[in-house]
Amino acid sequence: MQDRSLSRRTVLASATVVAASTTGLVGAAAAPAAARKRDDRLARIIARMSIEAKIGQLFVPYFYGTSATSPSALDQERNLRELGVRTVAELIAKYHVGGVIYFSGWANNIQDPRQIADLTNGVQRASLALPTPVPSLISIDQEHGANVRIGSGATQLPGAMALGAGGSLSDARTAGLISGTELAALGIRQNFAPVADVNVNPANPIINVRSFGADPRAVGRMVAAQVTGYQRAGVVACAKHFPGHGDTGEDSHTGLPVITHTREEWERIDAPPFRAAIAAGVDSIMTAHLQVPALDPSNEPATLSPAILQGVLRGELGFDGVIVTDALNMRGVRTKYGDDRVPVLALKAGVDQLLFPPNIDVAYKGVLAAVHSGEITEARLDESVLRILRLKDKVGLLSGSPYVSPREVDRVVGARRHRIAAARIAERTTTLLVNEDAALPLRRRQRKLLVGGASPAFPTDSTRTTVPELARAFDELGCSTTHLATGRAPDAAKIDEAVAAARGRDAVVVTTDNVDAASTQRTLVSRLLATGVPVVHLAVRNPYDIAHLGDVPASLVSYCWTEVELRAAARVITGRSQPRGSLPVPVQRADDPARVLFPAGHGLSYDD
């Protein structure tokens, strides 16, 4: 274990050897000397900060509204009720926060790229108006696939499990580079991606297709590739959720999961992707709100565990970058302590960034009280502030203008070259599981009915949903289709309507989304099969759906319902492209989980 724990130091040592081989000993010493010079410069910034400003640098809160200074009246009301201020500019002024996080939907931070750019510039103006002006490190959860914040206007890319199915490190790296380039153009310099969890539990309610797969080494390679892509684009990558969230049956948003892996199992299953991320130079790592008794017998949540964060992550794995908490509003970290104590205990455990406190005033004052009492020293604050400023300096926030250009946003975000690359990557991910009697590909002139769920094909645009978007993709390929959205939980009337619509058709394409034993989607598929019309099944998220559906003549997986993945699936179904993906996870039988229905690596082509 000692040899493996030196991964980051080995990378740094290798860089020194390369420098020495080309420029001699003076060159070998240049990198550490430059780092010391940088830290001295950053220390002078820290020395000008008050205690309050230092504490503020650690927080990354949410807020409501599309504007930094003039959000809607409703968003101002929400901000006042939950944050005690009307705008994010007031939030920054009051608490000196070091960063903020953007959300779509409920927080109403995201409409389109130009608006995001304006919001970013407003956030940075507020940050530079502080007594010690330091630009904000603006963050987001833009994982792609099932977890996307910026939808229409930005390039949509396949998510982690789809990339795992494609199996191409080059594609994973390119996806990170494209996404990172667009985020950087919007002034968003920290992305809480990639997911480094190994999804070995098919019933995992929180990770699932957000993971690259079930093979720890393969996941590690994909994580390292994405880290490289994001960070080449000038965006801070974040491997999450340490020490591993892939084998849980409980969602840490609503409870405190327990990972029952032995230490040996943790080393074999959970640790490799984080080791790979560290070896790739990942800038930040996010903690998980779960218990791992094999790593900390006290059963503290990992986010609050010195044994896990200082002992394992910093000590054994050698990580010296920024440790960020998962959202502090999640139930998993609030089961034992109050909201004033959670951030204090997280800092004492080794955390640097405090993400999404449920009550910024309570959390901030809790840390301030701990500093005044001596429970947290000013030197401890300085450690975390220095790490955070290193990130800001690395992505250019401290050496150049933090503002973004609308012209650059128009040129980069959603660029045609990015969309073409995304479409090509997606075509390499669609996985064909079953194709009895060459049921696929469908012919162009066949009369097709599309039925199924209603997930948003474009994140942030609820009007463009799975089945209509899939129908649009078929129509653009010159195929004759009609469609009927039956939803994720079709009732008897909707199922009857689908069965009636299927009669007289040459084929039915039915999409499913997270089928389980109680799902009425099973009834829909069964009734459609009984019509005698050939049925093509497309799992638009979960590759495990097929285990619940019985004998379908053809079944594919797209791993998500977004526009880029649906278009790729339509091309495969119509024979415009070959299915090239392979399962990155095994699919067990629903009636006997000990037996494998389709092993990892399974994937058919039309030549089989």
Domains in the chain (CATH in brackets) are 145-412 (3.20.20.300), 430-598 (3.40.50.1700)
Residues 544-552, mean pLDDT to the nearest whole number: 95
The predicted pLDDT at position 463 comes to: 62
More reliable by pLDDT, 250 or 411: 411
Q: What is the pLDDT of residue 272?
A: 98
- Residue 62: predicted pLDDT: 98
**Is 4 or 90 the better-scoring residue by pLDDT?**
90
**8-state DSSP, 195:** B
Average pLDDT over residues 341-350: 98
Residue 579's pLDDT band (cuts 50, 70, 90): very high
Q: What is the mean pLDDT of residues 189-196?
A: 98
Residue from 578, 538, 542 nearest 556 by CA: 538
Retrieve residue 294's tokens.
């094999």
Cα 26 from chain centroid (whole Å) = 41
**111, 66 Cβ separation under 8 angstroms:** yes
User: Stretch 585-601: mean pLDDT, rounded?
Assistant: 94
Distance CA 60, CA 328 (A): 10
Q: What is the pLDDT of residue 29?
A: 57
Pairwise CA distance, residues 606 & 575, whole Å = 9
Residue 24, phi then psi, degrees to nearest 5: 80, -170
| pLDDT, tens only, 61-70 | 999 999 999 9
pLDDT of residue 461: 65
Dump pLDDT digits (tens) for 287-326.
999 999 999 999 999 999 999 999 999 999 999 999 999 9
Mean pLDDT of all residues in the chain? Answer: 93
State residue 547's pLDDT score. Answer: 96
Residue range 125-136, pLDDT digits in tens: 999 999 999 999
Residue keyed to tokens 């004492």: 348
pLDDT of residue 568: 98
Q: What is the pLDDT of residues 468-494, one digit of tens each?
A: 999 999 999 999 899 999 988 999 999
What pLDDT score does 216 carry?
Answer: 98
Give CA angle at 552 (546, 558), nearest 5°.
50
Residue 460 — pLDDT band, cuts 50, 70, 90?
Answer: low
State yes or no: pLDDT of 585 exceeds 70.
Answer: yes
Q: What pLDDT score was predicted for residue 2?
A: 35
- CA–CA distance, 426 with 415 (Å, rounded to integer): 17
Secondary structure of the chain: what % helix, strand, coil (to 5)?
A: 45, 10, 40
Per-residue confidence (pLDDT) for residue 67, from 0 to 100 = 98
Helix (H, G, I), strand (E, B) or coil at 77: helix
Contact 577, 571 (CB under 8 A): yes
Contact 539, 566 (CB under 8 A): no
pLDDT score at 462: 63
Active site residue 326: yes
Give φ, ψ of 149 to 5 degrees.
-105, -40
Of 141, 171, 215, 326, the active-site residue reads 326
Per-residue model confidence (pLDDT) at position 480? 81
pLDDT tops 60 at residue 271: yes
Contacts of 28 (CB under 8 A, 6+ apart): 16, 17, 19, 20
Note the pLDDT of residue 382. Answer: 98
Is residue 434 scored above 60 in pLDDT? yes
What is the per-residue pLDDT for 28?
A: 46
Average pLDDT over residues 520-541: 97
pLDDT at position 186 over 60:
yes
For residue range 3-44, list pLDDT tens digits in order: 333 333 333 333 333 333 333 334 545 678 999 999 999 999
* SS3 call for 409: helix
